Chain A
Amino acid sequence: MNGQDIGRFFRSAQFSQEKIVFSIAVVMFVVFSATLQGFLTTGNVISLVQSVSILGVLSIGMALTIFGRGIDLSIVSNMAISVAWVLYLANQHVSLPAALLCGLGLNLAIGLLNGVLIAYVEIPAIFATLAMGTAVYGFGHSILVNSDVIFLPNADPWFKALGGGSVLGIPSPVLWLIALCAVVFLFLRFTRPGRFIFGMGDNPLAARIAGIPVRPMIVLQYLISSLIGFLAGIITATLVNSMNTRVANSTLVYDVILVVAIGGVGLSGGKGSVRNVIVGTLLIGTLFNGMTILDVPYTLQNIVKSVILLIAIVTDSLLNPRDEQTSQQGDI
């Protein structure tokens, strides 16, 4: 059986990257459950989900932009700086709601700027957000906050409960992730802007001709991703009592892209759903949890994670090969 035949066989079986990844995740889960003591316990499964819930939240935001043929590489910087500023202001005895408003305003302004640069100035999203991420980190560091790590002040319990609380034994980050998935799913499925985003991602020119207000929609997309980033930041800060702004320079944003891509969301837009992101998140969560229990060194964890993603995209490319005649120019 040559490659094409294999491809046809798998295609006939409706194999997609999402299913491959999901199968890997399930297999791994089963293997870990069988072999690792203490893996299949309620507590561990909850902590499995919790450990990736912030990653999941960020990935949902990232996925929204990717659906619309964009990408938001500034999501982590934006999150870190806007939330660090909130904590900084709160430390300076600004009232918490006022500090939150300031941080939110900054966050949305950054999202707006991203959107305008991409939609109206027509800078490729990859660059606009990459440069914005650097600029935002720099702006925050030189002007807004004074330290790399900003500690959470002694705040109201309700605020701390945003990330650090739990309901019925389920930690709040997990609840946030579930709620966000539901909201975004409904948004994408049932609202007009949600459908527009997919239309734009599929074919921006056709979307424009069809009368979709492509430019305002792009701006909206980045506003939403920023907002989701802010949410992730607040959860993080209240969960670990601090905000580390250096996370902006870490590989977290790459991890976020990995989660999105590994679940089978097409990076060229228009392809994927919230479900793909959940699958990706669960795979990474299972991997991370299992390897932590196995005490695998973190460098090796990175390799394992990357190799799995590589296998997923290679398989996907073999199953759905790109056609030289129809592939898009300049599509990286």
Chain B
Amino acid sequence: MSLKKYVLAGATALAMVGVAITAAHADHFDDGQWGMTAKALKGKTVAYVPISMGFDLAQGWAAAMQKSADKWGYKLVINDPNWSASAGVQAIGQLLAQKPDVLVIQPFDPQSYAKLIKKALDQGTKVVQINMESVTHGDAYVGSDWYDVAATEMDLMEKACGKAAGKNGKIALIPGIPTNPGQMVGTQAINDKLKQYPDLQVVATQAAEYDPTKAHDVALTILKQHPDLCGIPGTWDGQDVGTAAAIKEAGLLGKVYLVTSGGGRQAAACDYIANGSYSAYVSYDGKGQGRDLVGSVVSLLQDSEKAGSHPVGVYSSLKIITKETMSTGSCWTIEDIKANGA
């Protein structure tokens, strides 16, 4: 952001604060609570450090918080480590020096932010973690239950490919980056579920590094090798779009049951369910997460308790989207969140 943009952004924020204050004290109906809330939120600072601002979920969360920040007159500062844990550590370190009121972070793994979270709590900054929980607990965890996501996918697999469905139970795993901590939890869930469903049989496990091209190549080879493959429990919509293309290319669309998961953005989820690329989609509902996140942040901003005294967890409810269950509200767009909030 250029300096000019900074100044502009600052001016806009000020103007909004002004509007909010005037609104609060002049016109707005106050039921007693409203005024306390407005007073508690006004002028506070929320710092936000996702893994990267380059993917839909992080953008959706940011949009949701921005909407709320604009309404209540608190400031949202975003630092983008762009997929580097080390950069994330630096980013948080710098933000903490500015003593924000709430720190919203999406850790890369359970360990790397642990010390920083402790530091934040010690200096009185409240911490919300999204989609990945550090070994050090903050004040709130908002986000997916990675174990559940993978377990749900496996349940869908069992339904589609298990003995009960009269299928051969052959499935292929195409994880993302096996060293990714979320992935590791998922792998654990898959292994547990495989024990539970002995009729499912893994014929191949090939990582695709969250890259659709790689997923495509891997899937194509596996499909050539196992034309009778029944299903693929996918990893992430951004990767599995390649898997879907390979299935289509092999002429097995509709025959191979592809489940993927993700934040449930319209263009990444529902569009592909609609055209049949994905058989089912386990959505952790980015919009809902955004709402949970805003709720947590806003309540922490009003909370006078000592930082870190009562850690709470707000786990996202999962949505299973299939052609049958899909409706207009199943997916979301960033434009929608930006305009209407989460």
Contact = CB atoms under 8 A, between A and B. Distances in A.
**Direct A–B contact present (CB less than 8 angstroms):** yes
Interface of A: 38, 41, 43-44, 47-48, 50-51, 54, 91, 141, 146-149, 151, 164, 171, 236, 239-242, 244-247, 249-250, 288-289, 292-293, 295, 297-299
B165 interface: no
Contact of A239 (B55, B211, B238, B245): B245
Contacts of B220: 47, 50-51
Nearest to B175: A298
A250 B59 CA distance: 22
A51 B224 CA distance: 12
B172 to A, nearest CB: 9
Contacts of B210: 244, 246
A292 B241 contact: no
B225 interface: yes
B180 interface: no
Interface in B206-232: 206-207, 209-213, 215-218, 220-222, 224-225
B238 A295 contact: no
Contact of B221 (A151, A164, A289): A289
B52 A148 contact: yes
Contacts of A38: 224-225
Interface of B: 52, 54-56, 59, 83, 178, 203-207, 209-213, 215-218, 220-222, 224-225, 238, 241-242, 244-246, 248-249, 267-268, 271, 277
8 contacts: A44-B225, A147-B55, A147-B59, A151-B271, A164-B248, A239-B216, A240-B213, A244-B212
A292 B213 contact: no
Contacts of B221: 44, 47-48, 51, 288-289, 292-293
Nearest to B226: A38
B238 A149 contact: yes
Contacts of A44: 221, 224-225
Contacts of B224: 38, 41, 43-44, 47
A293 B222 CA distance: 7
B206 A244 contact: no
A2 B165 CA distance: 67
A37 to B, nearest CB: 8
Given A240-B216, A292-B221, A293-B225, A298 B207 contact: yes
B244 A241 contact: yes
Contacts of A147: 54-56, 59
A56 B222 CA distance: 21
Contacts of B204: 292, 295
Contacts of A241: 212, 241-242, 244-245, 277
B52 A292 contact: no
Contacts of B213: 54, 236, 239-240, 244, 247
Nearest to B52: A148
B55 A164 contact: no
A298 B249 contact: no
A59 to B, nearest CB: 15
Classify the interface of chain B: helix, strand, loop or mixed: helix
A41 B226 CA distance: 12
A297 B209 CA distance: 12
Nearest to A166: B249
A171 B267 CA distance: 27
Nearest to A163: B245
A17 to B, nearest CB: 26
B1 to A, nearest CB: 9
B205 A164 contact: no
A50 B241 CA distance: 18
Nearest to B203: A295
A163 to B, nearest CB: 9
B217 A149 contact: no
A146 B238 contact: no
A233 to B, nearest CB: 10
Given A47-B221, A51-B221, A293-B225, A246 B83 contact: yes
Most chain A CB neighbours (cut-off 10 Å) among B211, B222, B224: B224
Given A47-B224, A51-B220, A247-B211, A151 B245 contact: no
Contact of B241 (A47, A151, A289, A297): A151
A148 to B, nearest CB: 4
A246 B224 CA distance: 28
Nearest to B222: A292
Given A47-B220, A51-B220, A240-B212, A149 B55 contact: yes
Most chain B CB neighbours (cut-off 10 Å) among A171, A236, A244, A288: A244
Given A41-B224, A50-B220, A292-B204, A148 B54 contact: yes
Contacts of B206: 292, 295, 298
A240 B242 contact: yes
A244 B225 contact: no
Contacts of B55: 147-149
Given A151-B268, A240-B245, A246-B210, A146 B217 contact: no
Contacts of B242: 240-242
A189 B242 CA distance: 37
Given A41-B224, A246-B83, A151 B267 contact: yes
A164 B244 CA distance: 12
Most chain B CB neighbours (cut-off 10 Å) among A44, A151, A240: A240
Contacts of B216: 239-240
Contacts of A141: 54
Contacts of B245: 164, 239-241
B241 A250 contact: no
Contacts of B215: 240
Given A149-B55, A149-B212, 18 more contacts: A41-B224, A47-B220, A51-B217, A51-B220, A146-B59, A147-B54, A149-B238, A241-B212, A241-B245, A241-B277, A244-B210, A245-B54, A246-B54, A246-B211, A250-B211, A292-B204, A292-B221, A292-B225
